[in-house]
Structure 1
Amino acid sequence: MKKATSMVMVASLLLSGIVDAKAEWIKDQQGKWEYFSSDEIIHNFYSEKTTEFVKPVKLPQYYQADPRWSFKRYGMSNMKISGCVPTSLSMVISGLKQDVTPVQVADYIYDTSMEMNTLFSGTSSLGAIAALEHWGFNYRIINSKDDLKNALKNGNIVFGAVGHGIFVKGYSTHAIILSGYQNGNTHAVDPDNPERTNKWYGIDDIWDQRSMELEDNSAGGPFMVIYK
């Protein structure tokens, strides 16, 4: 009888949302319990006040500093220093359509446009769009923080350029990939730092740190939804 009582107590804790925040069972938007297999802890565990959860899209992890391509040079810089956009896009393309490397994406942008390491260091949002269209993807520019939240709640993948803050400690800008939603947070994939990637961050903070640089806004904004 003691064993049966313990099982009832555990089930009760799970259903009430009082269980430790490190638990990996999360209630989805349809009210079903789903096992979240990511190694990353979701800090905002389901409770009566947290009813929305959208699982992040599983993508391969590439790094711009990978020794296989980190020192390949494009114009005024190399992949390690300024390859965040092609590296980020290669993860999306590989995860949703076909395997490509960051170098393949960088080669295309550099060889077919002036949008990577020519007039400025890095890749503009127009360069990102050129690569997406080449690999058969569509895009939509995000116009507001609410638009960003709704896109993530709807299960979309978002490419974003951010400035100083969580992902950038200096005065440069950086590209990341966002997907998933949990109580005002989203899951970020960072092509640069293993300590920052595959973790959950506040959407308000990410939006406040969006890049204001001209190159990152040349398509109309620094954030865009990517879809097939």
Structure 2
Amino acid sequence: MKKRISMILVGSLLLASFNDVKADLLKEQSDKVESFTSEDSIMNNATGKESVKPVKFPQYYQADARWGSKRYGISNMKISGCVPTSLSMVLSVLKEEVTPVQVADYIYNTSTEMNTMFVGTSSDGAAAAIEHWGCNYRVINSKDDLKVALKSGNIVFGSVGHGLFVKGNGTHAIILSGYQNGKVHAIDPDNQEKTNKWYSIDEIWSQRSMAPEDNSVGGPFMVISK
């Protein structure tokens, strides 16, 4: 009887121990699941570097045959349509499907901020279109501010000068999202070879536009949100 009781006691202890181990394993697995439930932001425990997936945009090009030759004031979409083309991709993700022509029509017909006093569209014109489609914008104040915005999963609209995306003295609008080891994923509305690729945030920030019309809202980069 004592032997049987001892065996039962040992069995109970083993079962309890097994259940404890199982509970620990389940908790550990649950913690892992909770840590990776967000598909947008993942922390690589091996390197300690954060990675945020870029937003998937419909790819529009300002030189598209459907609207590239459409004229607005002193220029046309192919030459100077980077702002409305970029904004249309962002608005199509945040609100509803919008074409570059719809954005260009609104800016040109309601203001003098596109192809009137200068070639291209000012950041004031961009801001007006953003608000017209029911979205909000916030000006990026520093490189650190840009990195924080990207790590938070935000979409950033920006104007850059000579360098990665511009050859010459002009400026150009691009879309930024995602973060990976100090790099950002860029969408270019003009160049198929440069769009949909990762670039150094430091390099892009150093090439931000200094043109007055691109800084009329307080800076050339802005977060766009619903």
Do both share a fold (TM > 0.5)? yes
Q: TM-score, normalised to structure 1's length?
A: 0.80
Partner of 1:60: 58
* 1:217 aligned onto 2:215: yes
Partners of 1:142 and 1:35 in 2: CA distance: 25
Q: Aligned in 2, Cα 1:64/1:50: closer, same or farther, shift over 3 Å?
A: farther
- 81, 84, 92: which one aligns with 1:83: 81
Percent identity over the alignment? 74
Corresponding letter in the other structure for 1:146: D
Q: Shift in Å at residue 35 of structure 1?
A: 8.9
Partner of 2:111: 113
**CA displacement, residues 144-188 of structure 1 (integer Å, 9 cap, x when unaligned):** 000000000000000000000000011100000000001100000
Q: TM-score, normalised to structure 2's length?
A: 0.81
Corresponding letter in the other structure for 1:218: S
Partners of 1:222 and 1:60 in 2: CA distance: 23
Q: Which secondary structure does the structure 2 equivalent of 1:52 belong to?
A: strand
Partner of 2:188: 190
Unmatched runs of 5 consecutive residues or more in structure 1: 1-29, 37-45
In the alignment, is the contact (CA less than 8 A) between 2:39 and 2:53 conserved in 1?
Answer: no
Which contiguous aligned blocks of 4+ residues in structure 1 show a shift greater than 4 angstroms? Answer: 33-36
Q: Which secondary structure does the structure 2 equivalent of 1:158 belong to?
A: strand
Q: Shift in Å at residue 50 of structure 1?
A: 4.7
Q: Which secondary structure does the structure 2 equivalent of 1:218 belong to?
A: coil
Partner of 2:133: 135
**Larger CA Rg, structure 1 vs 2:** 2
Corresponding letter in the other structure for 2:216: S
Q: Which secondary structure does the structure 2 equivalent of 1:193 belong to?
A: coil
Partners of 2:78 and 2:166 in 1: CA distance: 15
Q: Aligned in 2, Cα 1:35/1:214: closer, same or farther, shift over 3 Å?
A: closer
Q: Aligned in 2, Cα 1:217/1:31: closer, same or farther, shift over 3 Å?
A: same
In the alignment, is the contact (CA less than 8 A) between 1:50 and 1:183 conserved in 2?
Answer: no
Aligned residues: 191
